[in-house]
Structure 1
Amino acid sequence: MKTWVKIVIGAVAALVVVVVMALVVLRVTIDPDAYRARIDAAVTDAIGREVDIDGPIRLSLLPWPSIRFGAVTVANADGFGSQPLARIRAGHVTLRVLPLFTGHLRLGTLNIRGLDLALSRNANGQTNWQSIVHRLSAAAPAARPSPDGARSRHHTGLPLSSLKIGAVEISRADVRYDDDAHDRHYRLKGADLETGRISNGHPFRLEAGGDLSWPGSHMTAAVHLVSRIEPNVADRFYRFSGLSVNVLARGPAVPGGKQEANLGASGDLDLEAGRFGLDDVSLQADGLTITGNVDGTGLHDRLAYNGRITVAEFSPRSTLQQLELHPPKTQAAAALTSASFDAQFEGGAHVVHFKQIAAKLDKSTLSGTVNVRDFADPHYGFDLNLDTLDVDSYLPPGSAAQAQTSQPAQTGGGAAQKAAEFDLAPLHHLRMRGQLRIGSLTTANLNIHNALAQVSAADSVLRIAPLTADIYGGTLKLNGGVDASGPRPAYALFGHFRHVAIEPLLKDVADSDRLEGNADVAIDLHATGRQVAQLKRSLSGTAQFALNDGQINGFDLVGMLLAAHEQAHGKSARAASANGTTEFDHLGGRFTVDHGMASSDAFTIDAGPLTGGGEGQYSLKDNRLDYTLRLAVAQDAGQRLAPLAGLTVPMHLQGALLSPSYSIDIQKAAHTGSPDDGSTIQR
């Protein structure tokens, strides 16, 4: 064997002997408890927080030098109370001795049992751990020249950039997080954490889990996390990849009592530059797949971020079923079978702005922008466009046909519906302003096109001012609002319809072809109450209408007058045709509404040689009409009206608005001094 090989082997053997003898001497002569005060001081200086080791400290040499310690307490930051930031019941750490001679810190396995950690954020947004993070992230001590030319060490904190740990094991941890700035409180119980070999600049595997809960949630969530972490402590830069978080929620507040979700992501955090990023974010739960990414800057001063969020196409009906919730029964079988969402976003600490929104529900597509300001007391702004929406498709089966009748709906109607109170509680905290455009809208069988609504809400008041739209060949412009600031909510609606084709409108809304013509309508109405019945009783204001160039189908007014005239003169009366019509050039009226009762003395009809006016009342509460018309026949009336020329005939209408009964008093028309001589014809 060559001489130099023998020398090397001998030197190594001698070094091993020296190290072993040194360890034995250390074990025999050194009591770690004697250095408790120095250890406390050293750790306190390293993290900038008082540390107290209460339990025993024991040194062990085999198979590796290691230290076992008992209870350790880390003081909280000033202003966060007397409760410790952290408390460790017991721990164990193995040491690598030789690297210490080269100025490096090497540990084997760090085992911590029974960790209690109390993390806090105060109302000003300050945390009780940030100062420790900054101190531990400081660079290693740097050599600086002294005035006499010698080099000295300038302490800037614990040299974590040189730290290597074989593994970290934490068991039975209890972590509390209290965020007073947002009144949020969380607790992670029974938590465990394991890592692979930790070395600055090299990735390691992290696995952790525990049971998460928070007050008032009536649920707990078993959380399991796995990720690959790459720390660069000196540069304060951290990267993670392959993040997988599994959450299993249980409790009475969880649909079905138990639900599971999985989250995946990768990203990085640059504390030096104040930058962060999240990529390949994916959340899967109950048929939903949500993906996205976000990049941000200004962690230390002005936070700014931008990104994208996408919800892949899914079936809302199927998702509700997976959540063990009963999907609503709808008129359209295809309703709630397809939905998706995609949007870009940008924002800061107190605002987020969603843009290029593309949301779909069945055949409807919503686009535009939404922003939220002041998250603690949100204010919503929006500018949205909806291409088409059939509201009736999402109502209970039979609702469309029910809307065309005067009877209460079979689902939730009748007395129960009238007595039900409107829940206006959301208005008390709602702040928003924006506009919504709808290309085509169907609601209560009413078809509306090119609608534009300007909406605002603040101080418990909701306003729509105005709502404009194209409707049945004409236009509408309405202003409305709900004021829930007082003990009794108030409602207001005013505006007008112009040149609306009344026949197709009534056909869709009431399944009636009784009336034709072009309508102009103006309303100014208000009401108070929390129930439908209260609204009807309190409704007040004015309403007026004018119909031009139209006709009343199934209502032969001339035939009715002739039949009454012939019967009054002892002739065989010819029945008015049920298929007859009454054509008119103008039909109009003005109503004053007072607590649910509409009164009018300004009704007019102009049907060529037949004109008239009238007065009476209509009760909204009971759908009851009580109205008297005075129909005047021109002196030169010819053809069918010739027998009635020059007469003014009273006609009394009673009953439902769209199908009233009537009575005609021809005798009273001929003899105005006889109020009732038995010559009244009733139908």
Structure 2
Amino acid sequence: MTPTRKKLLVVLLGLAALAVTGLLVLRLLVDPAAFTPLLTGFVKQTTGLSLTIDGGLRLSLFPSLGITMKRASLGDLPGFPGESFADIKEASIQVRPMALLRGDLEVLGLSVRGLRVRLVRDKDGRENWKALPIAKVEVKKDAMVVTKNDGQTTSFRYLVKTARLSGSEVVFENRADGTVFSLTDIDFSADGIEPGRPFAAEMSLSAASVRPEIQARVDLSGKTLVDPAAMRFAVSDATVGIKAAAKGLPVAAFQAQGHGDLELLAEENRITGRKMTLSGSASGGSLPGDGLAAGLELSFDYDYGTGLASCPALVLTVPKAGLTTKGTFEASGLGTKPRATLTLAAAPFDAKSLLAMSGVPLPAMREKNALGKVGFSLNAAYLENKETRLETDLSLDGAPVRVTAQAATGDRTRIAAGVDIQTLDLTGYLPAASASPPKDAAQRKKGTAVPGQNLVLDLRLSAKRLDVDKLSLTGVELVGTLDNGVAQLSRLRAGLFGGSITATGRADPRQPATAVAVRAEGSGLQAGPLLLALTGKEPLTGTAGFRADLAATGNDQAAVMRSLSGTASVSLKNGRIAGLSLSPDILSAPQRLLSLGLGGDDAPAKDGGKQGSPEGTAVTSAGFSAAIKNGVATTRDILVQAPPHKVTGQGSINLPAQALDLRLTAHVAGVADIPVVVAGTFSEPTVTPDMAAIPAAAIGGAAGKAVKALTDPGGAAKDVLDAVNPLNLLPFGRDTKK
């Protein structure tokens, strides 16, 4: 080694020894506690908060000169005495002590562990973070300027090279409703921090909520830039992963992955998101075990200074249901008097599959493809007066349906809705014959909440045509309300088979059992097509009418039928009994009486046709009325007028048992009054002449032979009694035993 190099080495070693000695002397001579009043005074002057250091200060020499603070708290906000705003387990700050003596804060490195910030909204609505006396924070080159509410400013230089935040949390406590939301396990790290320049950072956190109980983990990775001079925080091409679990909510578990760009511009009070995509699945709760998978794509802008928000591009997809919804969202006055608009549109998708995946499976329907192609376009608006307006155009398996609604929120939610339909066939949406009742179809238990509480719904429905099975309703108008769970049908009007029907009703589901009341009336109905649609047969024609005023209580169909009470009546005018001819000259011979125009008489009629003309026998009027009590209908005025013949009678119909017990009298002109018993069930009624009630010598000659034929249960003439029995006015009674 040359002499010059030796001298240089000695000088360097001497300088190093001197530096170490100086640091040791500084450590021995400087008391860290001397910095306590400087720090507390600076914090008080800058933020208005009181800094309490319970664990004291410790001076550190490596890796650089600094101060470590343990167990500190910030508190004494105006209006929140004795409550801490923030707590710190440990904070290490590498500073320049001489700058502190001058009243400046020059930070070279910062590490904080166990920071806990408490945000509180009190029961009277006061919020502790708004009590901070800080009006504005600005970064100018290498200095941070804090402006207080009174206009006073404090500035200090910052030279932070590295920053670490670990094991920290932010808790929001709403004491007004008892809810708590927290961000925990917050980890943040940044290196290469230079004044006025962006720097890279990484962050991860967990989230939790109490009432409702939610736990979530968020992992964020990607290039994060923080620009203190512009107060800008940006995450570009970031990847995010979310896992969440909940209790007492419709969704028990949720997980998602996504990526996108997120930017916070504090000086502009703006948050933006671009090219953000999120895909995941939700399961548990009311959802099936395999869950519901969906995807979301959006871009947004939110100006939290003015309360303006916009989402010009929004796409929601549910691949398994074939759903792709596109839309936009705009809002203003957020935080004050909010207004918002939303538009959505979806091409036809499988709504039945979507409902099943959402935990709302439907029973099997007659048409297996029903609800398989449902599309919609929606426009919604939320106004300053807490009023929501909605317009929706649906394509229900190709049938157009328009829905409009207006809702107002307050102590009770009030909704006025209108449904306009052109032509819709409801047959395919009826339960299939093999469909089993839903599992929850059991009687409602005492104490169960009534659906629709705190809701008032006014509904108006109009349809040019509704097809239900083989019934076609035209010009349908329906007006009804749902108020606190009680359904009221104010008006129902519709055209049906050349006539019209009207109805009103009420259903009250409150305890102890659902109470139902219905008033209905029909007039001008064509009986033939109506019976053909209901029973598949057309035993008679004519103009029919009915009236019903009924009431019942019960939580299932059987209970309702057992309690059914009220009045009902059915009438028929100017009709014909198909396939039966009772002309006056048919009594001239037993053979003709036996055939009764049912195909056994080939003698020509006076009009050139046959006695058994398919036009049948004219019925000028027919009908009956009934008083119903506990499911049993009693009638005393059955009357069928088929001049010169008629049928009268009385009896009862047991609706729960579907049983008949009627006593009729067939007044056959020129023969006799023939008593008849109608008994059995709706599906298989029996029509039997009462032999004991007919005098043996009532009629003689050819007519007497005819009477014997009529009273023979196995005789062909028994069809006369079947044909004129008044049950033909109802949707049962033609499938008789013979």
TM-score by length of 2: 0.69
Match of 1:39 in 2: 39
Match of 1:255 in 2: 288
CA 1:202 to 1:387, structure 2 compared with 1: closer, same or farther past 3 Å? same
1:474 to 494, 499, 514: 499
Count of residue correspondences? 624
Match of 2:598 in 1: 577
2:632 maps to 1:597: yes
CA 1:429 to 1:106, structure 2 compared with 1: closer, same or farther past 3 Å? farther
Structure 2 stretches lacking a partner, 5+ long: 1-18, 141-146, 189-202, 204-223, 600-611, 700-706, 719-738
Matched residue SS, 2:558? helix
Query: Does the 8 A contact of 2:582 with 2:596 survive in 1?
Result: no
Structure 1 distance, partners of 2:75, 2:187, is 23
2:300 maps to 1:267: yes
CA 1:240 to 1:62, structure 2 compared with 1: closer, same or farther past 3 Å? farther
Structure 2 distance, partners of 1:167, 1:61, is 17
Match of 1:487 in 2: 512
Bigger shift: residues 240-249 or 389-398: 240-249
CA 1:279 to 1:469, structure 2 compared with 1: closer, same or farther past 3 Å? same
1:257-656 maps to which residues of 2 (within 5 A)?
Answer: 260-287=293-320, 288-319=323-354, 328-348=363-383, 351-374=386-409, 377-398=412-433, 411-412=436-437, 425-443=450-468, 445-553=470-578, 556=580, 558=582, 577=598, 581-633=616-668, 643-644=670-671, 647-656=672-681
Match of 1:15 in 2: none
Query: Does the 8 A contact of 2:108 with 2:158 survive in 1?
Result: no
Deviation at 1:61, TM superposition (A): 8.3
CA 1:348 to 1:616, structure 2 compared with 1: closer, same or farther past 3 Å? same
Match of 2:252 in 1: 219
Deviation at 1:597, TM superposition (A): 1.0
Matched residue SS, 1:508? helix
Structure 1 distance, partners of 2:511, 2:119, is 42
Tell me the amino acid that sits aligned with residue 226 of structure 2. R
Query: Does the 8 A contact of 1:116 with 1:175 survive in 2?
Result: yes
Deviation at 1:426, TM superposition (A): 1.0
Tell me the amino acid that sits aligned with residue 466 of structure 2. L
Match of 1:16 in 2: none
Deviation at 1:527, TM superposition (A): 0.4
Deviation at 1:48, TM superposition (A): 5.0
Structure 2 distance, partners of 1:412, 1:310, is 34
Cα RMSD (Å) of the superposition? 5.0
1:206-235 CA-partner distances (Å, limit 9, x unpaired)? 767665455423724456676645545455
Tell me the amino acid that sits aligned with residue 39 of structure 2. I
CA 1:79 to 1:490, structure 2 compared with 1: closer, same or farther past 3 Å? farther
The structure with the larger Rg is 2
Query: Does the 8 A contact of 2:106 with 2:156 survive in 1?
Result: no
Deviation at 1:358, TM superposition (A): 1.7
Query: Does the 8 A contact of 1:419 with 1:533 survive in 2?
Result: no
Deviation at 1:340, TM superposition (A): 2.8
CA 1:177 to 1:153, structure 2 compared with 1: closer, same or farther past 3 Å? closer
CA 1:259 to 1:494, structure 2 compared with 1: closer, same or farther past 3 Å? closer
Deviation at 1:624, TM superposition (A): 1.7
Structure 1 distance, partners of 2:127, 2:685, is 74
Match of 1:138 in 2: 136
Query: Does the 8 A contact of 2:134 with 2:149 survive in 1?
Result: no
Query: Does the 8 A contact of 1:478 with 1:496 survive in 2?
Result: yes
Deviation at 1:390, TM superposition (A): 3.6
Structure 2 distance, partners of 1:80, 1:311, is 51
CA 1:450 to 1:577, structure 2 compared with 1: closer, same or farther past 3 Å? same
1:533-573 CA-partner distances (Å, limit 9, x unpaired)? 1111111111122222223346x4849x989x969xxx995
1:664 to 689, 696, 704: 689
Structure 1 distance, partners of 2:155, 2:492, is 64
Structure 1 distance, partners of 2:582, 2:232, is 99
Structure 2 distance, partners of 1:157, 1:247, is 50
Match of 1:146 in 2: none
TM-score by length of 1: 0.74
Structure 2 distance, partners of 1:215, 1:262, is 23
Task: Give the % identical residues.
Answer: 21
Deviation at 1:294, TM superposition (A): 2.8
Structure 2 distance, partners of 1:551, 1:342, is 51
Structure 1 distance, partners of 2:380, 2:518, is 36
CA 1:294 to 1:431, structure 2 compared with 1: closer, same or farther past 3 Å? same
Structure 2 distance, partners of 1:666, 1:82, is 103
Matched residue SS, 1:337? coil
Structure 1 distance, partners of 2:154, 2:535, is 82
Matched residue SS, 1:536? helix
Query: Does the 8 A contact of 2:411 with 2:454 survive in 1?
Result: no
Structure 1 distance, partners of 2:108, 2:235, is 16
Structure 2 distance, partners of 1:166, 1:454, is 71
